[in-house]
Structure 1
């Protein structure tokens, strides 16, 4: 092969290499862009799943709080009813005691009045 042909072959090889490098760089840029896009999609999906899970946990916690609240209220109602019953029982006892004391006082005054007349 003559020198001019060798020189042309080298130049053509360099052009081919430059073209191959350019294609590889373009391909790499394209793949990098696709990877970034996919990473953004994965991140968005993960954020959406995390938000959904957080909402589910929040709803579960609210339900548990409501159940506990109802238990506490029911317990409070039962305690209130017991206290009211005990108070009613004490009112009856207090009324009985007051009536007894009144009757004793009336009887004592009646006896004193009888003794005073005698």
Structure 2
């Protein structure tokens, strides 16, 4: 084989190698872009899922808080009703006690007035 022919074949091989490398680089760039796009999609789906789960957890927590709030309010109403019932039961004895103390004070003043006149 003559030298010019060998040089032409080498140049042709180099050109083919350059084309293969360029195609490989283009393919790699394309695959990288697709991978980045898919990664962005996965990230967006994960964020959406996380936001959805957070919203569900928040709603569940709010419902639990509302249930607990109602339980506390009901317990408070029950305690209030019991205290009111006990207070009503003691009204008569409190009035009797007040009247008794008033009568004692009046009697004591009357005795002091009698003693002062004597």
TM-score bin (small chain): 0.7 to 0.9
Please report the TM-score for the alignment, with normalisation by the length of structure 1. 0.82
Measure the CA separation in 1 of the matches of 2:52 and 2:98: 67
Query: Which residue of structure 1 aligns with residue 2 of structure 2?
Result: 2
Query: Which residue of structure 2 aligns with residue 42 of structure 1?
Result: 42
Alignment of 1:48-63 (within 5 A): 48-63=48-63
- Aligned Cα root-mean-square deviation (Å): 2.1
Which of structure 1's runs of 4+ aligned residues deviate more than 4 A? Answer: 98-106
Report the number of matched residues: 107
Deviation at 1:87, TM superposition (A): 0.6
Deviation at 1:102, TM superposition (A): 7.1
Alignment of 1:79-94 (within 5 A): 79-94=79-94
Measure the CA separation in 1 of the matches of 2:88 and 2:47: 60
Query: Which residue of structure 2 aligns with residue 116 of structure 1?
Result: none
Deviation at 1:97, TM superposition (A): 3.8
Measure the CA separation in 2 of the matches of 1:24 and 1:76: 76
Give unpaired runs (5+ residues) of structure 1.
Answer: 107-118
Query: Which residue of structure 1 aligns with residue 114 of structure 2?
Result: none
Deviation at 1:93, TM superposition (A): 1.7
